[in-house]
């Protein structure tokens, strides 16, 4: 009898504890939801969450544009901001209008580039684990639907480009050769990351041209900046390849300076552009290591396959070229000490990527690839601070 009473008490206590746990969970969940509503800064939904909640009819288009993965847009945008910042009048902040204009352009052109890439690669994508569910490869969208969307994006991009001076328009329009050519490069060369980097950082030249029209004066610091951004691209894209873009992705490094200054100072723009290309070679080689097994099987080339076990040696060289180009570009632009402090942090970030990346781990390659977003922000902050102290 006594044993029965004890058993009932234990059962009652367990039921009570279970009810309390459930109520506590409900309270916590409600509290979190209330915080999301009362203070949205405590909860910022990810782009992937927003795309997932989008209407079913437009969801494939959003995935085609890679709206769920904004990291590519940031990597396209940052070289533009560097160039705009370097071209800003001493003692002033960069133009919010120009930053916004190039931000919108980065979103549109990155989306357009993804569509062009998928149109070329849909047959390859079907055979690669990471890309087989892309809308064109999976048959969710037709080529006609993709081309229609592409036409709209390019038209909107042209509208933004026409807001700039004519030198910027000419430089910007010329980038389309690289945009279209990048997907083809993967078929014929182990250096598609270089083509991507050259395009991705073209904004350095465009923003520069919009700000300065005197080619002789502005060439002194835009060229080093462009060279540096190319180098940076080679680093992060080499990391991405051991998941794959460089000339193409860094066109903004050129366009940004031209658009702000209405000049094309090659001594500033070119080092920055080359630096950005090397940066792309870093992060996109890292990215390309994610897909290297599938790339070998289907015959697609990348720097990840070209470098193999010597990847980190190459990444170190690209990182050094990135920092050298950025340092030269900053020197030619008479940047103050905050710029070089930011460059020191940039060097540390690149060194961390190269030293710690596991090129045989897709998860780690993706993590290192995404971290380059913060690197771009660090350098932009240094440029703005340095310009204010000139």
Tens digits of pLDDT across the chain (390 residues): 444 554 554 554 555 445 544 444 444 444 444 444 445 545 567 888 999 999 999 999 999 999 999 998 998 899 889 989 988 989 999 999 999 999 999 999 889 889 988 998 888 889 888 889 999 999 999 999 999 999 999 899 889 888 888 877 777 777 666 666 666 666 666 666 666 666 555 555 565 555 554 444 445 555 555 555 555 454 444 444 433 455 566 767 777 888 888 777 888 888 988 898 899 889 988 988 888 887 787 777 778 888 888 999 999 999 999 999 999 999 999 999 999 999 999 999 999 999 999 999 999 999 999 999 999 999 999 999 999 998
Q: For 171, what's the count of Cα atoms within 13 Å in the CB-facing half-sphere?
A: 32
pLDDT of amino acid 336: 95
pLDDT of amino acid 303: 80
* CA-wise closest residue to 171 among 82, 110, 260: 260
Rounded Cα gap, residues 269 and 218, in angstroms: 7
Rounded Cα gap, residues 35 and 299, in angstroms: 51
Chain position carrying tokens 């020191």? 344
Return all residues near 161 (Cβ < 8 A) that are at least 6 apart.
105, 168, 169, 172, 173
pLDDT of amino acid 270: 86
- Domains, the chain, in order of start with CATH, read 56-388 (1.10.357.140)
Chain position carrying tokens 């090397």? 278
| Whether 226 contacts 269, CB under 8 Å | yes
| Whether 236 contacts 200, CB under 8 Å | no
């Amino acid at each position: 009898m006594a044993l029965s009473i004890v058993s009932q008490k234990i059962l009652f206590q367990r039921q009570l504890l279970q009810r309390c746990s459930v109520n506590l969970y409900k309270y916590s969940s409600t509290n979190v939801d209330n915080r999301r509503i009362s203070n949205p800064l405590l909860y910022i939904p990810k782009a992937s969450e927003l795309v997932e909640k989008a209407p079913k009819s437009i969801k494939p288009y959003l995935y085609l544009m890679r709206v769920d993965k904004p990291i590519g847009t940031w990597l396209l945008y940052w070289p533009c901001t560097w160039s705009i910042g370097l071209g800003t009048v001493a003692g002033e902040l960069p133009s919010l209008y120009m930053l916004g204009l190039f931000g919108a352009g980065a979103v549109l052109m990155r989306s357009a580039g993804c569509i062009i890439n998928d149109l070329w690669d849909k047959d390859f994508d079907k055979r690669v684990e990471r890309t087989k569910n892309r809308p064109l490869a999976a048959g969710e969208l037709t080529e006609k639907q993709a081309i229609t969307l592409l036409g709209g994006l390019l038209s909107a991009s042209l509208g933004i480009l026409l807001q700039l001076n004519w030198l910027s328009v000419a430089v910007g329009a010329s980038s389309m050769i690289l945009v279209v050519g990048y997907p083809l490069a993967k078929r014929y060369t182990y250096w598609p990351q270089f083509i991507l980097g050259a395009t991705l950082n073209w904004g350095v030249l465009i923003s520069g041209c919009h700000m300065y029209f005197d080619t002789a004066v502005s060439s002194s610091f835009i060229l080093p900046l462009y060279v540096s951004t190319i180098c940076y691209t080679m680093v992060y894209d080499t990391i991405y390849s051991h998941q794959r873009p460089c000339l193409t992705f860094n066109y903004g490094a050129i366009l940004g300076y031209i658009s702000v200054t209405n000049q094309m100072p090659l001594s500033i723009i070119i080092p920055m552009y080359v630096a950005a290309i090397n940066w792309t070679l870093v992060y996109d080689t890292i990215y390309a290591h994610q897909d290297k097994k599938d790339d070998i099987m289907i015959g697609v080339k990348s720097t990840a396959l070209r470098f193999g076990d010597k990847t980190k040696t190459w990444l170190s060289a690209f990182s050094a070229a990135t920092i050298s180009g950025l340092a030269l570009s900053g020197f030619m632009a008479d940047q103050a000490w905050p710029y070089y402090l930011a460059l020191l942090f940039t060097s540390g970030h690149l060194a961390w990527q190269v030293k710690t990346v596991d090129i045989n781990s897709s998860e780690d390659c993706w993590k290192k690839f995404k971290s380059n977003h913060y690197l771009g922000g660090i350098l932009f902050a240094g440029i703005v601070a340095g310009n204010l102290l000139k």
